[in-house]
Amino acid sequence: MADLARLRALLGDTDPRESVGDQLPMIPPIRRLLGSRVRRGALVAIEGEAARYSLSMVLLAGVSSAGGWCAVVGVPAFGCVAAAAYGVRPETLGLVPQPGAAWTDVLSALTTGMDAVLVHRPEAVPGGLARQLTAKARRSGCTVLTLGPAWEGSDLRISVVRRQWYGLAQGGGRLRRCRVTVVASHRPRVRVDLWLPAEDGGVREAAPVVSAA
Amino acid sequence: MTGAVRTLLLWCPDWPVVAADIVDGVPATGPVAVLHANRVVACSVAARADGIRRGLRKREAQSRCPGLRVVDHDPGRDARAFEPVLAAVEEVVAGVEVLRPGACALPVRGPARYFGGEEAAAERIVEQVAQSCAVESQVGIADGVFAAGLAARTGRIVPPGETPRFLAGLPVTALGRPALTDLLRRLGIRTLGGFAALPGGDVLARFGFDAALAHRLAAGLDHRPLAVRRPPPDLAVTETYDEPLERVDVAAFAARSLAERLHEGLAGYGLACTRLGIEAVTAHGQELHRVWRHDGLLTPTAIADRVRWQLDGWLRGAAGRPGTTAAAVSRPTSGIIRLRLVPDGVLAQVGLQPGLWGEAGDERERAHRAFSRVQGILGPEAVLTPVLGGGRSPADQVHLVPWGDERRPVRPADPPWPGRLPAPAPAVVLPVPLPATVLDATGAVVGVSARLAVTAAPARLVVADGPPREIVGWAGPWPVDERWWDPAQARRQVRFQVCLADGTALLLALSSGRWTVEASYE
């Protein structure tokens, strides 16, 4: 019976009118956060400073573990070991750490061939340019994840509102895992608690009730 | 008995030295050594008399023979100079295969009948090479290319059926596989006969594919009998060019993509080729053809190299010695308009299977094109792909290789890396560590003694010129003393993990009194 209830919950979350092939592949806890309406080719803004790299890696991991190709543009500090632990496959990952002034050309070239691109611009991107770049990505089904100021026309914005590291004491222990609470702009009432990262470096869903730890 | 093809092998001793003589005019009669990566790869007779050997360092070679002329190794030059020799051999016999610059092989049955005996055929070929190119050569005849190559070292003709016995007496070094040879010697196996006596199945299981090939060679079974199946005809790749290729660099570029296509086609069938036919058609309708042979398995780069060498030989023209008839025998009169690569000696290769997920197919093709376009915009070094390997710091564990290069980790992941940071790994790894200062509660800089004791508990962190931030948790110091044997790479530091009041966790390093932020756990 419990299985049946879970199956119902799963079906209730899915709109039968949308084909599954158009959905952005996500890992289950992120799907619970974002729902099933997010398509391939969406523009997703990752906001805030807290755990933004980890959050972007988890989103890339969903695409990558479904066999997709990912590129990371303008993020020289991208921690590849952590990304691999989250589930991003290094064989299908390309890094363009220094796109320089030609970043728009680089981005539009990559959106034609990748399934997801993570791009970081420290300054705000003009609205017209953002629309132009994302229209192309939308056509070819390439999801664009942005770090830094949210681009105009973002389909959704997600951010980490709370985070707490466990395992470190005053002069002892080591960083073991971090509990974060993630929210998305289009479903403000849904909050998901994650171990990001969990003890093995991966990602787990945390029990929603916060204990005193 | 063995089924191996009766083979004649023509070998030009010290070919790199002779090639340097032909192309660059370095007299091969004097003491000459050809070096690659500071090691001698070939030397002339005069140099050998002075004690120069393969594998010597440059300085040692020069101290043994002060008058030594040193030439850089250039496979392209070797191949180019060998072209007229091949043309000369082809004037008298058909079906010549290049093994490497300086050696070529042919089935001896036809020529032996035509010239009236194997010895007569060998004499005729050596004479032909000497007359038209003024190059000295030796011939060996045996069953199979491998045995013929060894026979050529001593200029022997091994009678039919005697090849296994001939091979049995030779040392295992003749296999030309140093790692395997070393292993065999430590196992007490010193001759090819001893190696051949091992059960073939066990050799394959214990030493792998390459050793199994070597085992067949040692037993006098040329590995060509392995190629039981003919490749499907569509494996050959052809490209037609609107603009005739006249320059070597342009042709080499064309060769690269063609080589990749050939390799992908082969890998798709789980095959690898041991011989490669290169065919070219020039704008004037001349047809050029050459077969290259390789002992192991050809990788895309190896295929591209051979095609480039061959095109180099054809396009820059066979620079034969002045006064010989070979000077312009095979030089095409115009540019190349069509190139065709034909795989031959194809055998099943289990080690080359493409990956199960996404390695081959449309997505890969699409992604590859996108990355190549970015490389076109920013340069080949701008698109990197991570290869995870071993190492102690988060930066060491990742080796970034330009897209399209071979994915090979610099440090093996297998051996233990004591002092390696435990999982989870930091999500932000700064390419250049940020300078920082760690202060204790009184405002003094925190240090670490030689006995790894912290002078005071860290209380505040100042990154670059930013405001001081409170440290709520810390652990360390964890010492790292790496590569102390190499002053250029040595690293001696201690690491700390700290947690700040705003929830950020950082990895700090302290080295010679300077604090830096290496990575952030966010």
Cβ neighbors of B47 (< 8 A, separation 6 or more) are: B31, B32, B33, B61, B65, B68
Look at the domain B6-164 and name its fold.
Alpha-Beta Plaits (3.30.70)
Please report the pLDDT score of residue B362 as a whole number.
67
Domain A20-158, second-level architecture? 3-Layer(aba) Sandwich (3.40)
Cβ neighbors of B2 (< 8 A, separation 6 or more) are: B143, B144, B161, B163, B164, B220, B221, B222
SS (H, E, C) B399-465: EEEECCCCCCCCCCCCCCCCCCCCCCCCCEEEEEEEEEEEEECCCCECCECCCCCECCCEEEEEECC
A chain contacts of residue B424, beta-carbon cutoff 8 Å = 82, 85, 175-178, 197-201
Token duo for residue B208: 């792998």
Contact at CB, A175 and B423, closer than 8 angstroms: no
Q: How far apart are CA B267 and CA B269, in angstroms?
A: 5
Q: Does residue A94 belong to the interface with chain B, where contact is any CB pair within 8 Å?
A: yes
Residue B473 Cα, gap to closest chain A Cα (Å): 5
Token duo for residue A44: 């997703």
Best of A73, A95, A175 to substitute, by most chain B Cβ atoms within 10 angstroms, is: A175
B98 three-class SS: strand
Residue B280 Cα, gap to closest chain A Cα (Å): 34
Cβ contact B421:B392 at 8 Å: yes
Please report the pLDDT score of residue A115 as a whole number.
92
> CA quadruple B257, B259, B265, B269: dihedral positive or negative?
negative
Cβ contact B293:B97 at 8 Å: yes
Domain ranges in chain B are 6-164, 233-352, 373-419, 428-520
Please report the pLDDT score of residue B351 as a whole number.
45
DSSP assignments along B350-412, one per residue: GGGPPPSSSSSSHHHHHHHHHHHHHHHHH-GGGSEEEEE---SSTTTTEEEEETTS----SS-
Question: Tens of pLDDT along B278-299?
Answer: 888 888 888 888 777 655 566 7
Say whether the ipTM exceeds 0.90.
no
DSSP assignments along B503-520, one per residue: S-EEEEEEETTEEEEEEE
A chain contacts of residue B368, beta-carbon cutoff 8 Å = 113
User: Residue B477 CA to chain centroid, in angstroms?
Assistant: 43
B chain contacts of residue A178, beta-carbon cutoff 8 Å = 424, 505, 521-522
Q: How far apart are CA B440 and CA B444, in angstroms?
A: 6
B304 CB-side CA count, 13 A: 18
Q: Does residue A161 belong to the interface with chain B, where contact is any CB pair within 8 Å?
A: no
Q: How far apart are CA B382 and CA B376, in angstroms?
A: 9
Domain ranges in chain A are 20-158, 159-205
Q: How far apart are CA B464 and CA B460, in angstroms?
A: 13
B263 three-class SS: helix
Q: How far apart are CA A162 and CA A185, in angstroms?
A: 15
Q: Which amino acid is at B440?
A: D
Cβ contact A156:A44 at 8 Å: yes
Please report the pLDDT score of residue A70 as a whole number.
94
| CB proximity under 8 Å: A 43-72 to B | 50-54, 57, 67-69, 71
Token duo for residue B486: 């190499």
Report which DSSP code applies to B231.
Answer: P
Q: Which of A59, A76, A71 is nearest to B431 (CA)?
A: A76
Mean pLDDT by 10 residues, chain A (213 residues): 67 51 84 85 91 93 92 94 92 92 90 92 90 90 93 91 90 90 87 89 77 44
Q: Does residue B422 belong to the interface with chain A, where contact is any CB pair within 8 Å?
A: yes
DSSP assignments along B202-215, one per residue: HHHHHH-HHHHHHH
Q: Which of B25, B14, B217 is nearest to B103 (CA)?
A: B14
| CB proximity under 8 Å: A 174-193 to B | 174-178
Reported residue count of chain B is 522
B153 three-class SS: helix
Contact at CB, B521 and A168, closer than 8 angstroms: no
Reported residue count of chain A is 213
B472 three-class SS: strand
**Residue whose pair of structure tokens reads 């795989």 in the numeric block:** B343
Q: For the sheet containing A93-96, what is the strand order?
A: A204-205, A191-195, A173-184, A156-168, A43-47, A143-147, A116-120, A70-73, A93-96, B384-388, B398-402
Cβ neighbors of A39 (< 8 A, separation 6 or more) are: A18, A22, A23, A24
Q: How far is CA B154 from CA B11, B141, B146, B168, in A?
A: 10, 11, 14, 16
Q: Does residue A200 belong to the interface with chain B, where contact is any CB pair within 8 Å?
A: yes
Q: Does residue B410 belong to the interface with chain A, where contact is any CB pair within 8 Å?
A: no
Q: How far apart are CA A197 and CA A51, in angstroms?
A: 10
User: Residue A195 CA to chain centroid, in angstroms?
Assistant: 15
For chain B, how far is it from start to end, CA to CA, in angstroms? 71
B46 three-class SS: helix
Domain B233-352, second-level architecture? 2-Layer Sandwich (3.30)
User: Residue B373 CA to chain centroid, in angstroms?
Assistant: 27
Token duo for residue B116: 């009236």
Report which DSSP code applies to B230.
Answer: P
Closest residue to B425, CB basis, from A81, A110, A163: A81
Number of H-type helices and E-type strands within chain A: 6, 9
Please report the pLDDT score of residue B429 as a whole number.
92
Q: Which amino acid is at B338?
A: R
Q: Does residue A76 belong to the interface with chain B, where contact is any CB pair within 8 Å?
A: yes
A chain contacts of residue B430, beta-carbon cutoff 8 Å = 77
> Which residues of chain B have a pLDDT value below 50?
1-2, 225-231, 318-329, 350-360
Please report the pLDDT score of residue B294 as a whole number.
59
Beta bridge partners of B304: none
DSSP assignments along B274-336, one per residue: EEEEEEEEETT--EEEEEEE-SS---HHHHHHHHHHHHHHHHS---PPTTSGGGGSS--SS-E
Q: How far is CA B255 from CA A33, B70, B74, B298, B318, in A?
A: 51, 31, 19, 15, 19
Q: How far apart are CA B492 and CA B496, in angstroms?
A: 14
Question: Tens of pLDDT along B140-189?
Answer: 999 888 888 899 998 899 998 888 899 998 998 888 888 899 999 999 99
A143-147 and A156-168 beta bridge pairing: unpaired
Q: How far apart are CA B296 and CA A120, in angstroms?
A: 46
A169 CB-side CA count, 13 A: 3
What φ, ψ does residue A165 adopt, rounded to 5°?
A: -85, 145
